[in-house]
Chain A
Amino acid sequence: VQLVESGGGVVQPGRSLRLSCAASGFTFSMYAMHWVRQTPGKGLEWVTLISYDGAKKYYAESVKGRFTISRDNSKSTLYLQMDSLRTEDTAVYYCAREIRDGYNYGGSDYWGQGTLVAVSS
């Protein structure tokens, strides 16, 4: 199992950025996927989840209405579209695989190495 994030970088407040997570080593279309972020030196914060088929999406209140999760099962790739970015969105963003199947959710058994998003003027 391998998860590789990309797309991070420095962006001005109010701008947009799209992160990608390329999955390999497992049947991507069978697993729900999460985005989790971590402000440098701080704890983990869950951001969003998408079901295995893309039919269900859930968001933390802090990003609801600004971030959009999506997936392309034909490409085994997860995405996070981040709009109206704020300085407080600065963090390392990890994609992670859900441990449960179907529409059941719990924890994450595999994580990528993360991509850094820095929102600054």
Chain B
Amino acid sequence: SYVLTQPPSVSVAPGQTARITCGGSNIGSESVHWYQQKPGQAPLLVVYDDSDRPSGIPERFSGSSSGNTATLTISRVEAGDEADYYCQIWDGSSDLQVFGGGTKLTVL
């Protein structure tokens, strides 16, 4: 089955740029979605279809995908961005939704 690999943790200072990667075989040919989850809350979709933002999500959140890596980029990081972030695809060959293991973003 398809596997998505994320780093367990990423740390960044306020105002800097955070980049969270998601590795998968030829992931550039898939549609990648990203979720933010804060403690005690449900996941929140922050990027869909590689690089689109749902309404209400700040422009500071952006995504890209190419080759074997998809990336969620958070510009001008704020303390409120501290959360777990998950990448996800729909694996059409197996008819399964697949999540990455999640990355904990720490704002220093």
The chain A residues found within 8 Å of chain B, CB to CB, are: 34, 36, 43-46, 49, 58, 60-61, 94, 96, 99, 105-109, 111-114
- The answer to whether residues A111 and B54 also contact, given A46-B98, A60-B96, A106-B48 and a CB cut-off of 8 A, is no
Add 20 more A-B contacts to A36-B97, A105-B90 (CB < 8 A).
Answer: A34-B97, A36-B43, A43-B101, A43-B102, A44-B35, A44-B37, A44-B86, A44-B88, A49-B97, A94-B42, A99-B33, A105-B92, A105-B97, A107-B33, A107-B35, A107-B45, A108-B45, A109-B48, A111-B43, A114-B42
Contact residue among B42, B90, B92 (Cβ-Cβ distance under 8 Å from A111): B42
* Interface secondary structure of A, over-half rule: strand
Contact of A107 among B1, B41, B90, B100 (CB under 8 A): B90
Residues of chain B touching chain A, judged by Cβ–Cβ distance below 8 Å, are 1, 31, 33, 35, 37, 41-45, 48-49, 54, 84, 86, 88, 90, 92, 95-102
